[in-house]
Amino acid sequence: MKKIFALALALALALSLMGCASAPAAQEPAAEGGDGYKVAIVLGVGGLGDESFNDSMYDGCQLAMEEDPSITVQVIEPTEVAEFEGHYMELARTGEYDLIIGSGFDGVEAVTKVSGQFPEQQFMFVDGDCGDLPNVASFTFRDQEKAFLLGYMAAQKSETGKIGVVGGMDIPSINMFVAGFEAGAAYAGNGTTVERKYVGAWNDTSTGKELALALYDGGCDIVYQAAGGSGLGVFAAAEEKNLLAIGSDTNQCLIDPDHVFVSGIRTLNYIIRDGILAGRDGTLEPGSHSVGLKENGVSYTCEGSNIEVAQEILDSVETVKQQIIDGEITVPSTLEEVPTFIETYCGK
């Protein structure tokens, strides 16, 4: 997989810039290396400790430094979206960094603006499509594909015939997860229904828990979290109700093995690692790149969970996974596409 992502990164990399405010001073590096290739990474709102997206990005930096101790990484943790552009502007203005890394749908506009003002600065952007900017390589994930497998599995695992999803925000990048999850549940063909709720923030665990409790109280026995740090509240609700939950981005089965029975996976950390190494080697190229099941960019895991999933269910999920890879199933990426998918593939 490392080779795959090294090639993928060589096809696309150069960062995005986010936000629009004054440029706060860079923080002390949360990771350190030698005096060679210098990287700055601007995390998403919520920062480190989300045990999801941001922690996975940081892990990628650590992996790169482990491979090459001459790499140094400056870590920036914004507290609100309005800070993004200022951070990118300040980092680019210093001219000190060989590569600036950013992420997220809410940073695309900022990176477009700042990269235009600093054409010699190389950027890498993940989880957002920056198009054909000459100095930005962006990576997007076909998250709907892994979410489809999670919905398909959850529909078979559910005992109530009702499952739920808590999204961070009602936006296209999150509704990609929701659409895949709903389509997967429908594809299971047993009449399982899906309820959805949105937190409206990435770092509000209290609201995440409240919404998950409402879903559980409404009859859902499984809730999928696609809400970043807010999703930790879903796991707290699952523990309180002694029901099941599904994790995102990293192996969140390890957070609560007695209630999280499966987790969606993004190989975000390897994308970051390989991007840094490709930048160091001078092989980064601008442009957009999409990764899904076929490219091993997304997947799922039950590793570390104490919840038993019948082998028959696991086997069926693997069969469906291969059908997606082979192009036999095209997973919808928007909520608007779900009804057509159900009509086409489920006969409804």
Q: Which pLDDT value is given to residue 348?
A: 54
Q: Per-residue pLDDT for 15 more than 60?
A: no
DSSP-derived 3-state class of residue 308: coil
Distance, CA of 12 to chain centre: 18
Q: Are residues 222 and 273 in the same domain?
A: no
Q: Which pLDDT value is given to residue 79?
A: 87
Q: Are residues 170 and 82 in the same domain?
A: no
Q: Are residues 118 and 204 in the same domain?
A: no
Q: Locate all alpha helices (DSSP H) within the chain, ordered by sequence.
A: 2-11, 53-67, 84-94, 108-117, 143-157, 172-187, 205-217, 232-241, 268-281, 311-325, 338-345
Give me the chain's average pLDDT, please: 89
21 pLDDT band (50/70/90 cuts)? very low
Q: Which pLDDT value is given to residue 324?
A: 98
Q: Which pLDDT value is given to residue 1?
A: 40
Q: What is the pLDDT of residues 126-146, one digit of tens each?
A: 988 999 999 999 999 999 999
Q: Are residues 163 and 255 in the same domain?
A: yes
Q: What is the pLDDT of residues 335-344, one digit of tens each?
A: 999 999 999 9
296 pLDDT band (50/70/90 cuts)? confident
pTM of the model: 0.78
- Higher confidence at residue 242 or residue 35? 242
Q: Which pLDDT value is given to residue 66?
A: 97
Q: Per-residue pLDDT for 223 more than 90?
A: yes
Identify the CATH number of the domain in which residue 68 sits.
Answer: 3.40.50.2300
Split into its structural domains, the chain has a count of 2
Q: Are residues 129 and 26 in the same domain?
A: yes
Q: How far apart are CA 43 and CA 339, in angstroms?
A: 35
Q: Are residues 126 and 182 in the same domain?
A: no
Q: Are residues 224 and 90 in the same domain?
A: no
- Higher confidence at residue 74 or residue 17? 74
Range of the domain at 40: 2-142+267-291
Q: How far apart are CA 237 and CA 229, in angstroms?
A: 14
Q: Are residues 12 and 124 in the same domain?
A: yes
Q: Are residues 154 and 35 in the same domain?
A: no
Partners of 166 in beta bridges: 197, 225
Tokens of 262: 């499966």
- Higher confidence at residue 236 or residue 203? 236
Give the count of alpha carbons within 13 A of 338, CB side only.
Answer: 22
Q: Which residues contact 152 (CB under 8 A, 6 or more apart)?
A: 184, 185, 187, 188, 316, 317, 320
Q: Are residues 241 and 216 in the same domain?
A: yes
Q: Are residues 201 and 338 in the same domain?
A: yes
- Nearest one of 114, 111, 98 to 139, comparing CA atoms: 111
Q: Are residues 205 and 310 in the same domain?
A: yes
Q: How far apart are CA 136 and CA 67, in angstroms?
A: 24
DSSP-derived 3-state class of residue 101: strand
- Strands lying side by side in the sheet with 162-167: 193-198, 162-167, 222-226, 244-247, 260-266, 298-301
Q: Which pLDDT value is given to residue 209?
A: 98
Residue range 50-77: mean pLDDT, rounded: 93
Q: How far apart are CA 191 and CA 206, in angstroms?
A: 31
Residue percentage of the chain with pLDDT more than 70: 90
Q: Per-residue pLDDT for 35 more than 70?
A: no
Q: What is the pLDDT of residues 82-110, one digit of tens each?
A: 899 999 999 999 999 999 999 888 888 99
